[in-house]
Structure 1
Amino acid sequence: MDKKEEEKVIKRINELYHLSQERELTPEELEERKKLRAAFLENFRAGFRQQLEDTVVIDKDGKEVTSEKAKEAQRRKGLRKD
């Protein structure tokens, strides 16, 4: 999901929230809200996972202490040569 699409999803989730404060949502609106929230969370988790996998951790002595799981993900992406 690109940034523009994410903004549209967030805007619609907020619209449905405000509607729910004024009246009860219809079954269609409840289903739409459920799908939008799921899509938003999926996109958020994917971005967060990407950020974590691309992070290199260095301790105070300058030694790399990145987890093996992150190193493997970085190797798969071609970000590491070791």
Structure 2
Amino acid sequence: MIAKHKLARINELAKKAKTSGLSAEETLEQAKLRREYIQAFRKAMTDMLHTVTIIDPNGNDVTPKKLKESQRRRFH
């Protein structure tokens, strides 16, 4: 995930944007940090989904074919 100090800076800039506004430099910094955060979040979510197996109440594996193929490509 993203470093704590970067997350704190994202929150600091968001708060400042609501209260007094941001300078051009701060706006660019905020956009860069947000992109970095979203990229890290998406990677973590994708990694988590690659460990998921869906089982129905009867005990059958009903993991979607697309996810199974993605898991196979990733781990083999």
Name the TM-score class by shorter chain.
Answer: 0.7 to 0.9
Q: Percent identity?
A: 34
CA deviations on 1:15-58 (whole Å, 9 max, x unpaired) are 11222233221000000000101110111011111111220000
1:61 alignment counterpart: 58
Structure 1 gaps of 5+ residues are: none
One-letter amino acid matched to 2:41: F
After superposition, residues 1-82 of structure 1 pair within 5 angstroms as 2=1, 5=3, 7-78=4-75
Is there any run of 5+ residues in structure 2 with no aligned partner, and where? none
CA RMSD of aligned residues (A): 1.6
Once the two structures are TM-superposed, the CA of residue 14 in structure 1 deviates from its matched residue by 0.8
Given that 1:59 and 1:65 are in contact with CA atoms closer than 8 Å, whether structure 2 keeps it comes out as: yes
Between the two proteins, the alignment pairs up a number of residues equal to: 76
Higher RCO, 1 or 2 (CA under 8 Å, sep at least 6)? Answer: 2
**Contact 1:54–1:70, Cα closer than 8 Å, also in 2:** no
Whole-angstrom CA distance in 2 between matches of 1:49 and 1:35: 21
**TM-score using structure 1 length:** 0.80
In structure 2, how many angstroms separate the alpha carbons of the residues matched to 1:67 and 1:53? 12
